[in-house]
Amino acid sequence: MNVMKNKTQRIWFAGFTGLALLVDAASIPAYSATKSQPDAVKAVGSAKDLSTAFRFAADKVLPSVVTIENRPAIDWKTDGSDDPNDDSAPQRDNPFKGTPFEHLFPDSGQGFRYQGPRSPQGDQAGGMGSGVIIDHSGLIMTNNHVVAGGGEVIVRLSDGREFKAANVWTDPKTDIAVVNIEGADNLTAATVGNSDSVEIGDWVLALGQPFGLESTVTAGIISAKHRGIGITDRENFLQTDAAINPGNSGGPLVNLNGEVVGINTAISSRSGGNDGIGFAVPINLAKWVASQLASDGTVHRAYLGVGIQPVTAQLAEQFHVRPREGVVVTDVYPDTPAAKAGLQSGDVIVDFAGEQVATPQELQVVVERSELGKPSQLTVVREGKPMKLSFVAEEQPNSFGLNRDRSRDGLTKPRPSRLHSLGLEISPLDPAVADNLGMKGVSGVVITAVRDGSPAEQAGLSSGMVITEINRKSVTSVEDAQKVLGGQTMKDGVLLLVRTENGSRFVALKP
């Protein structure tokens, strides 16, 4: 009912605006139309010039755009043990029942149940996406999520020819994949551009086969750069309002010169379709990944071994730097290049190997492309003072960043305590609780409740987070937390280091 009402309102307002324009136009003297005619001709000429530029770019790239069909080879089947409605499946009592953590783990007594990608008829799941030819030998760039699954990958060229992929190499960290087809002649490879030269406001075209509609071209602009949206480990997306819909994934984003500047990857949408917010992997990053996939079948990337977060206005005041000046180190993992370089939690990295960094995405890009084994310098701000550290690049292990298994044995029943000034309720963090929160070996206090409207709630804190530092002092017990906050007012703010199973971040609380 509300939906129909809203639709009616939108149509009505549009009609009202059209009526107003019609009345205004009718009241304008005839000589005004004659007077504005040269301007109108000039405007039409400019529009035609833009249309010509669109046609040039589309004609240049469309022969390089392909359709990719992923036909999984696995026949997904199920039996009663996979049915979530099967009451005969074994159940276990929740080991957290009766403790302050029961509401954090409401399903801890239930075993995990596999839900495979199967249709109601039991047919194999499949998917379609797009890709772009980057080499005349038959190399095609697309997204990892388009070809993942280990099934049969079919490539259909713009002229209708179909080929089965001979090789498929993927990099889930960036969602980039390379597909190789053999025996195809007269292939048209796209021209690869330079995504570092792209600016906000530049015109771009998105090409692909949304909803199976092949050779579709949409236009828009670059809306933002260096976006991180939390869908891959390595993110430095270009944001665009060019229409991107399901099926566009893996297709090219091109400039008006017909050069590929990005690989369309994701959308932000409430409806599942285009809402004017699309994201593409910058072609410079995609090219760096694709070249290694094609030559080695894998990607070799350097790493620091830290947890990081951006410098917000609230954190900048606490760390004595300007907003967006560098990135804050939240964790330093043992036996990593960062630990060997002497980095500490709370350091603000402002420069890496001579390149200034303002966002986590920028730091990740320059670090992972570092030459392995080569020493570099990084500049940090520590307690308000700049200092230089020496760093030697090492290759990131495949196991780095994986969460540890959780255990649910040996739970104790801690007594919660309140930090009234912050609006928090906390409890001791014993080993069993730490394991179940995915933070084995972490010391601190766990948040068990957050008061509505409190500084803690406004800062985004929630139950299950672990506080490891307050005002840069380590806390390992409720008593530690109360001691650090003793006599502390909210006037100057409170700086917390909080941890989840995904890592740590600093949070500045103010009234």
Q: List domains and CATH numbers for the chain.
A: 46-72+124-299 (2.40.10.120), 302-395 (2.30.42.10), 417-509 (2.30.42.10)
64, 108, 195, 249: the catalytic one is 249
Residues 450-501 pLDDT 10s: 888 888 888 889 888 999 998 888 888 888 888 888 766 666 788 999 998 8
Alpha-helical (H) ranges within 369-488 are 431-436, 455-458, 478-485
Concerning whether 249 is annotated as a catalytic residue, the answer is yes
64, 108, 130, 145: the catalytic one is 145
Q: How confident is the model at residue 274 (pLDDT cuts 50, 70, 90)?
A: low
In degrees rounded to 5, what are phi and psi of residue 6?
-65, -40
Concerning whether 136 is annotated as a catalytic residue, the answer is no
Burial class (CB in 10 A: 0-12, 13-18, 19+), 146: buried
Q: How confident is the model at residue 402 (pLDDT cuts 50, 70, 90)?
A: low
Concerning whether 291 is annotated as a catalytic residue, the answer is no
Q: Which residues of 417-435 are buried (b: 16+ CB within 10 A; e: fewer)?
A: bebebbbbbbbbbebbbbb
Residues 109-139 pLDDT 10s: 443 222 223 333 333 345 789 999 999 999 9
Nearest alpha carbon to residue 493 among 464, 469, 470: 470
108, 171, 175, 370: the catalytic one is 175
Cα(476)–Cα(351) distance, integer angstroms: 33
Does pLDDT of 335 surpass 50? Answer: yes
pTM (predicted TM-score): 0.66
